[in-house]
Structure 1
Amino acid sequence: MKILHVVTTLDVGGAEMHLLSQVRGQCARGHSVRMVFLKGEGRLTEDFLAAGAEWVGQVPATRPFGLWSHLRWAELVHSHLLKADVLTAVMATLAGRRRCLVSGKHNDEQVLKRPLVGAVHAVIGRLPRLTIVLSDHVGRFVERYGHVPLRRQARVYYGLDPEPFERAAAAPFAERMDLRAELGLGRGDVVFTCVARFAPQKAHDVLLRGFAAARKSFGPRLRLLLVGDDPFGDGRQRAEAVAAELGLGDAVVFAGIRRDVAQILAASDVFVMASLWEGLGLVFLEAMATSLPVLATDVSAVPEVVVDGQTGVLVPPSDAEALARAMAELAQSADRRHELGRAGHLRVLEHFGLDRMVDETLHHYESVARSS
């Protein structure tokens, strides 16, 4: 099958990393894949080419007819993220390719709550033959605010290959401690790590305030490692300003974008994120595959991934005090951290496998292609 993916950006993010896994699996199964992105630096271009994509390139949203030849080539078109969804739906309709169009919803896009945006999506969102959502929560959200009924949706949970994370977790203790030292972290520190874009959705300010409060009760061995950046804004600078306001100094490490996330997770003690909403959260699966306990907020689809009290701890969103209490409690008990981490690893193996994700997605593609 000739598969065209159109995505808003091809920079490092959860949706983009999920799509990379999909493309790798689709190419391994003999399908031809092309990738189009609309904006950004395209930092993952070489990764997609290495995964087997035959062509990867940018088509700016200001020049939408650059999509035309790719749409005519494709037997199945799959758009990802809201801007790409809108542009691709319009262009695919004009190119006579609507019948082979699939939309992918990777998040509960809050902009759909705006009445005008929701009304436009009620028209544009029904152009694809099928909308693939990554969680039950996102499906309900898209039905309510995007006006795409459940009968026109299919839920396919994210999946991942746990092997790189398991391998990182099994690395010699000395290697993991060397990485800590490189990052300015001590062997005896209790390290909470967040891997996320510095976007308002991720609520780094709440995380930093919760961490500051937890450090007052636990002590200076509590450290916070923040991995990621904000390629489209000043989110990181604003988080750094909050850390300075709280007087956290070198208690917080801003590591930027890293390609050794598996190794960083394996050198950590707890994964933490204070999201205000999440479509699913691929990084939660990565942390669980590394046998890390997860401390997160009880929002959106997070409870579909992280089972409170079994694989991690969930707290209310925007509640720095509750986050601080949970951080302090987890910091004080290595046994509790190990128990939650082991259960999380098992949950990933049982419910979020990579082959299942790829095969389920291709099954839906084939159904759409057969009926087009």
Structure 2
Amino acid sequence: MGRSGQSGRGAPVFWYRTGEFPLLLLRRDQHSTGNGKPLRRARRIHRHRCGGRLRRGDRIHPVSDCFIPSAGSGHPSTRPCRELRPHRSRLPGDRQRLRGFPVRAILPTVLASRRPRHRDVARARKRQRRPHRRPVKVVYVCTLERGGPLSHVRDLALSVAAEGMDVHVVCASAQTARELRANGVAATAIAVRHKFDLRGASAIWPLLRGADVVHTHDRRAGLLARTQAPVRGAHSVHTFHGLPDELFGEVGSDGAAWRPGASRLRVAWLRYGLLRLEALLSYVGTVVVPSRALLEFVLRNGFPATRLRHIPYGVATRRRAPRPCSDPPRIGTAAILERRKGIDVLLEACARLSAPYELHVFGDGRERAALEAQSRRLRTSACFHGFVDDLGPRLDDLDVFALPTRGDNLPVAILEAMASALPVIATKVGGNPELVEDGVNGRLVAVDDVSGLADALEWTLTDEGRRQALGRAGAQRLEERFHPASVARRIVALYDELCASST
């Protein structure tokens, strides 16, 4: 506590310890005897010129008399105070009752907000009701020139823009950029050639300015653009479309997983190197997984569950019933011509069919020359069309769709076939069982089962009523579970949740 003394002609002086603040304890029990100077302001305590800071042993100079006027004094400017009773306090005399209090005990009260709490609650509610000043800006980045992820980005961008968001697409395909701009969506074509293309990454950087969400859709974009989002102050969302072929066979497989001819060292690197890197990158933002099978796989391999969201692809229905069967029937498939897609198994199965048929293969890849040679050797009626931009109308001309893939996520090609109301024959791997229900909208066969695939094709094509029923069921399933509007609403809800969490 402080010490009091005398200075000059008996004026009280107060010394205080370091770290304490002199606080006057007013006495309210003395009767007010007058109204000395009711309108006079209190004087400031004299400060030192060197910063105005009191030190140990400094004296507080006496202040002249200052009275608190009595409520009953009759002065016209007198207003009763609710905190002080109508008594007098003589400041110079009260200096004998100064006490030292720690500064840390006083500062919280001094610095506390004086605004009424009910006003803060009302303002917060008003801000919640107030609409966004501007729409959420979403930048989609896909460095693939073709394939299912690019088709998904195109459809998703249009659907999200229809929900009222500001959408900008960065893609590698100039034609896709022109199509998006023709539909009212801003798009820029930038070529990113490999995972270490710093020039391509620097070209993406200025397009992320002002973005609220950056949504990437392939491994190159996830490595080069996803990491730029936090620097730009945006939320990062990455759609995990797939895995390397050496690991894809383990996704949703109920038996022995298919493995291509790869060394144990490469498989070990992919499992304990690449997957661990993807798991670490998932902490940058949120990861969207299209199929439940792939979701279970990444959870088993170290991905954090709190960062994962399951949202499937969405494709619009083009027709609700298949057209009458052609003569001869037209069997079709659409895929990248790699060994993982199992087109070689489809050629073997078609060679075993007893009735005439036509096989149409849409897509291109490294295995195309070998598959064409196999088709000539088996003498199948196969036509390889390569990559086509208008896959939907091409599928409308088919009678049945087959995709005997050895490993997959959630094939967009199957969704496109369901949009054309086609029966689908696929393998029991990856997310295929989430799209095709055996005997309802198609058939499911085992991986590399040539006889089972041939029997499923015969079973579908020999009964027109069954084929029609399977096609209608597929279109209805697509409408109920994979409609692009419902998928876009789930994506928009995710964006709103991320943006709301940062405010």
Q: Which TM bucket (shorter chain)?
A: 0.7 to 0.9
Counterpart residue identity of residue 14, structure 1 = G
Q: Aligned match of 2:316 in 144, 153, 161? A: 161
Counterpart residue identity of residue 374, structure 2 = V
Counterpart Cα distance in 2 of 1:309 and 1:168: 17
* Higher mean displacement: 54-63 or 266-275: 54-63
Percent identity, aligned pairs only? 29
**Residue of structure 2 in register with 1:196 after alignment:** 335
Counterpart Cα distance in 1 of 2:492 and 2:242: 21
CA distances 1:238-281 after superposition (whole Å, capped 9, x unpaired): 22122123232xx1111222344333322211111111122112
| Structure 1 residue 36 corresponds to structure 2 residue 189 | no
Q: Which has the larger radius of gyration?
A: 2
Counterpart residue identity of residue 327, structure 2 = G
**Residue of structure 2 in register with 1:123 after alignment:** 280
Q: Aligned match of 2:416 in 286, 298, 305? A: 286
SS of alignment partner, residue 272 of structure 1: strand
SS of alignment partner, residue 9 of structure 1: coil
* Higher mean displacement: 303-312 or 20-29: 20-29
2:211, 2:232 within 8 Å by CA — same for their partners in 1? no
**Residue of structure 1 in register with 2:293 after alignment:** 137
1:36, 1:59 within 8 Å by CA — same for their partners in 2? no
Residues 1-372 of structure 1 aligned to structure 2 (within 5 Å): 1-11=136-146, 13-37=147-171, 41-60=173-192, 61-63=197-199, 64-93=201-230, 95-97=231-233, 100-110=235-245, 113-128=270-285, 130-145=286-301, 147-162=302-317, 165-166=318-319, 187-213=326-352, 215=353, 218-219=354-355, 221-230=356-365, 234-248=366-380, 251-372=381-502
SS of alignment partner, residue 243 of structure 1: helix
* Higher mean displacement: 357-366 or 150-159: 150-159
1:222, 1:331 within 8 Å by CA — same for their partners in 2? no
Counterpart residue identity of residue 79, structure 1 = T
Q: CA RMSD in A?
A: 2.2
Counterpart Cα distance in 1 of 2:328 and 2:487: 37
Counterpart Cα distance in 2 of 1:108 and 1:340: 31
2:320, 2:475 within 8 Å by CA — same for their partners in 1? no
**Residue of structure 2 in register with 1:182 after alignment:** none
2:405, 2:447 within 8 Å by CA — same for their partners in 1? yes
Counterpart Cα distance in 2 of 1:72 and 1:144: 36
Counterpart residue identity of residue 148, structure 1 = F
Counterpart Cα distance in 2 of 1:167 and 1:340: 11
Counterpart Cα distance in 1 of 2:177 and 2:159: 17
Q: Which has the higher contact order (CA 8 A, sep 6+)?
A: 1
The Cα of 1:34 is off from its aligned counterpart by: 1.9
Q: List alignment gaps of at least 5 residues for structure 2.
A: 1-135, 248-269
CA distances 1:78-126 after superposition (whole Å, capped 9, x unpaired): 0112221122233334x253x5111111234546653211222222232
Counterpart Cα distance in 2 of 1:27 and 1:239: 40
Counterpart residue identity of residue 125, structure 1 = S
Counterpart Cα distance in 2 of 1:266 and 1:36: 30
CA distances 1:271-301 after superposition (whole Å, capped 9, x unpaired): 1111112211222222222221100111111
Counterpart Cα distance in 2 of 1:49 and 1:168: 32
The 1:241/1:73 distance shift into structure 2, 3 A limit, reads farther
* Higher mean displacement: 320-329 or 73-82: 320-329
**Residue of structure 2 in register with 1:183 after alignment:** none
2:322, 2:468 within 8 Å by CA — same for their partners in 1? no
1:71, 1:92 within 8 Å by CA — same for their partners in 2? yes
SS of alignment partner, residue 330 of structure 2: strand
SS of alignment partner, residue 337 of structure 1: helix
The Cα of 1:8 is off from its aligned counterpart by: 2.4
Q: When you count helix as a share of all residues, which structure comes out higher?
A: 1
1:10, 1:45 within 8 Å by CA — same for their partners in 2? no
2:342, 2:406 within 8 Å by CA — same for their partners in 1? yes
Counterpart Cα distance in 2 of 1:277 and 1:85: 22
* Higher mean displacement: 356-365 or 105-114: 105-114
The 1:18/1:3 distance shift into structure 2, 3 A limit, reads same
The Cα of 1:77 is off from its aligned counterpart by: 0.5
Counterpart Cα distance in 2 of 1:111 and 1:152: 25
| Corresponding pairs, count | 340
SS of alignment partner, residue 437 of structure 2: coil
The 1:295/1:167 distance shift into structure 2, 3 A limit, reads closer
1:59, 1:67 within 8 Å by CA — same for their partners in 2? no
The Cα of 1:315 is off from its aligned counterpart by: 0.4
The 1:167/1:328 distance shift into structure 2, 3 A limit, reads closer
Counterpart Cα distance in 2 of 1:59 and 1:283: 25
2:313, 2:482 within 8 Å by CA — same for their partners in 1? yes
The 1:205/1:43 distance shift into structure 2, 3 A limit, reads farther
* Higher mean displacement: 103-112 or 349-358: 103-112
The Cα of 1:167 is off from its aligned counterpart by: 8.2
The 1:43/1:277 distance shift into structure 2, 3 A limit, reads farther
The Cα of 1:169 is off from its aligned counterpart by: 5.2
